[in-house]
Structure 1
Amino acid sequence: MLRVLGDPLRARIVRLLADEALCVCHLVEETGARQTNVSNHLRVLRRAGLVETEPCGRFTYYRLRPEPLRALAAGLGELAATAEEARAQTRKRPCP
C-alpha cells in the first residue's frame, strides 16, 4: 500500500479524490498528466482497493475509499506505538 501511495502522481490523484468524485478528464486537467498516464495510475489504485468507480453515462467517476486508508493509518499508528515503547525501554538485542 505504501508503494502504491509513494508515487507522486498517484498521491496527487488520491488527494484530489479525497475531496470529490472525479472522472479521468478532471484528473488530467488538475494534474497536467496525460490521459493514458492518469488511467494507468487509476488502474493501480483500483487494484489496490483504494478507489471505486461509478459509471455515469459515457464517463466513469472515481471515488476514494476511506476504509483502506484508515486500516493503513491504524497499522502505522500501532507500529509507531511499538517503536515508542522500545525506545522508552531502550530495548536492544545483545550481539553474540
Structure 2
Amino acid sequence: MPNSPRLPLPRVEAELSATPLNERPLTADEAERTAKAFHVLAHPIRLQLLSTIASFEEGQPCVCAISDVGVSGPTVSHHLKKLKEAGLLSSERRGTWVYYRFEPAVLAAMGRLLIKAASE
C-alpha cells in the first residue's frame, strides 16, 4: 500500500470558519479548512496527550509527566509538535525540560462550530 502524501497541519484558529454549522451551509473552501483543523485532533495519541495536559491539576506539566501514553519518546515528541503547530498547545523550556500548556480558546472555537448546531 503506497504512502499518502503528508500535508502540513494547519494552525486551528486561522483555519476554522466562524460560522456554526447550522447558520448557513459552509462554502467548499470553509469546509476544507475546517476539516483540516479537525484532522489535528483525529489521532488517538494526540487526543490522549491533549487530554492529559488539559486535565493536569498542578500547573503546566513537564514532558516527563505526560509521556506515558504507550508509545516511544520520539513519537510523543512528534505528536506534541503537531499539537503545538496547530496552536492547541504552547510550551516553555525550563532548563532541560519542556513544560506544556493547553490553549483552551482554540478548542473552544472548534466547539462553537458544533455546539450551537447541536443545541437547537
State the AA in 1 paired with 2:55. Answer: D
Specify which structure has the higher proportion of helix: 1
Q: Which residue in 2 is equivalent to 1:16?
A: 52
* Residue deviations 1:5-58 (CA, integer Å, cap 9, x gap): 1100100001101122223222223x1221100000011000100001022111
CA RMSD, aligned part only?
1.5
Q: Which residue in 2 is equivalent to 1:2?
A: 38
Task: Please report the TM-score for the alignment, with normalisation by the length of structure 2.
Answer: 0.61
Taking the aligned partners of 1:74 and 1:66, their CA distance within structure 2 comes to 12
Taking the aligned partners of 1:22 and 1:70, their CA distance within structure 2 comes to 21
Task: Tell me if structure 2 keeps the 8 A contact 1:54–1:60.
Answer: yes
5+ residue gaps, structure 2: 1-36
* Residue deviations 1:48-83 (CA, integer Å, cap 9, x gap): 0000102211111111100001111111123435xx
State the secondary structure of the residue aligned to 2:105: helix
> Are residues 1:71 and 2:112 paired?
no
Instruction: Compare CA radii of gyration and give the structure with the larger one.
Output: 1
Equivalent residues, number: 81
Taking the aligned partners of 1:55 and 1:71, their CA distance within structure 2 comes to 27
Specify which structure has the higher proportion of strand: 1
| 2:90 counterpart (52, 56, 60) | 52
State the AA in 1 paired with 2:112. Answer: A
State the AA in 2 paired with 1:39. Answer: S
Task: Please report the TM-score for the alignment, with normalisation by the length of structure 1.
Answer: 0.75
